[in-house]
Structure 1
Amino acid sequence: MLAPVLVLLAGCGAATPVAGTPEPSPTSANSSAGLPPDPQPARTAQCPYLSEETVQDANGQHVTKVEVSDDQPHPACFFYRPDGGLQLSVRVYVGSTDVATKLVDKAAPVDTSNPASEPAGWKGGYQPSGDGVVYAVSKGDAAVIVLSNQKQSIKARTVAKKAIAALQL
């Protein structure tokens, strides 16, 4: 199962975590009750808010397949590399401020992650996740969570900023 991926964040066979699932902290484990389930890849389709080229340029790997979840109005997007492994996922949540904040804290717990404040007005955190990184931010009732198989947080941050700009959140 994937760590929180944007409503925010894949085709054939079972999904493999991009970079592992962050270990829940006591705070995030307690706050995950009542949160929407982690999105799952449902079908092969274009991501409505990120192009393959944008993800390739930002994450530094060729994209060979894109899958999306059934979440609405913003499906989670799952981008795969040539060997079939998941390289990046994006989850976008829009709903309640409380849930948006808790989703970010679940992905990158405030107590253990590095602070994130990009784009301007968004707050959250980033931290290593398995063999990669998670970058998770919220603003008001919206949250964007990016998981990358790359260790450099700038790659996940760039994707988050591009998704936020495309969605005009």
Structure 2
Amino acid sequence: MPPDPRPTRAGQCPYLSKQEAQDANGQHVTAVKLSADQSTPACFFYRPDGSVQLSVRVYTGTSAIAKALVDKAAPVDTSNPADQPAGWKGGYQPSADGVVYAVAKAGSAVIVTSNQKQSIKARTVAEKAIAALKL
């Protein structure tokens, strides 16, 4: 399993604009940071107080690892089933800081965390990222 991504540099998320993040999560974004992975960096969107309000992690590789990443983020045994967008499977559940929405399809996974409690916000972000990536 790949390690959890960490924000390492400022930049623009390649699959979700700052404005899209603001609109979907309902909070002003003051900064965007990316993980070190060059091909599909994780994106971290920050609130005015300096805390992360939203993150988007994208994995492309093997089906087994994609499913394992989703199960780690939103375990099958404890999460609600997620099946949007069509053809993607995974789960969503509350977290200590908000909500996580994680889905996989074939060798791809998209994991969204939000500091908001409404799963629809995280699901909307996942759908936008998947559409932008054409996965």
How far, CA to CA, are the matches of 2:5 and 2:37 in structure 1?
A: 7
**Aligned equivalent of 2:132:** 166
Match of 1:5 in 2: none
Write the mapping of 1:45-84 to structure 2, written as runs, cut at 5 A: 45-84=11-50
Give the distance between the partners of 1:48 and 1:42, measured in 2 at CA.
15
Q: CA deviation at 1:137?
A: 0.1
In 1, the alpha carbon distance for the partners of 2:118 and 2:102 equals 14
Offset of residue 73 of structure 1 = 1.1
Give yes or no for the alignment of 1:39 onto 2:5. yes
In structure 2, list runs of 5 or more residues that go unmatched. none
Equivalent residue number for residue 102 of structure 2 = 136
Give the corresponding residue for 1:126.
92
Q: Which blocks of at least 5 consecutive residues in structure 1 are unaligned?
A: 1-34
In the TM superposition, residue 159 of structure 1 has moved relative to its aligned partner by: 0.1
State the TM-score, normalized to the length of structure 1.
Answer: 0.79
Shift of 1:101: 0.2
Post-superposition offset of 1:131: 2.6
1:101 partner SS: helix
Give 4+ residue runs of structure 1 displaced > 3 Å after superposition: none
Question: TM-score, normalized by length of structure 2?
Answer: 0.99
| Aligned-residue RMSD, C-alpha | 0.5
Measure how far apart 1:72 and its partner are.
3.2
Mapped partners of 1:156, 1:86: distance in 2: 14
Q: Which has the higher contact order (CA 8 A, sep 6+)?
A: 1
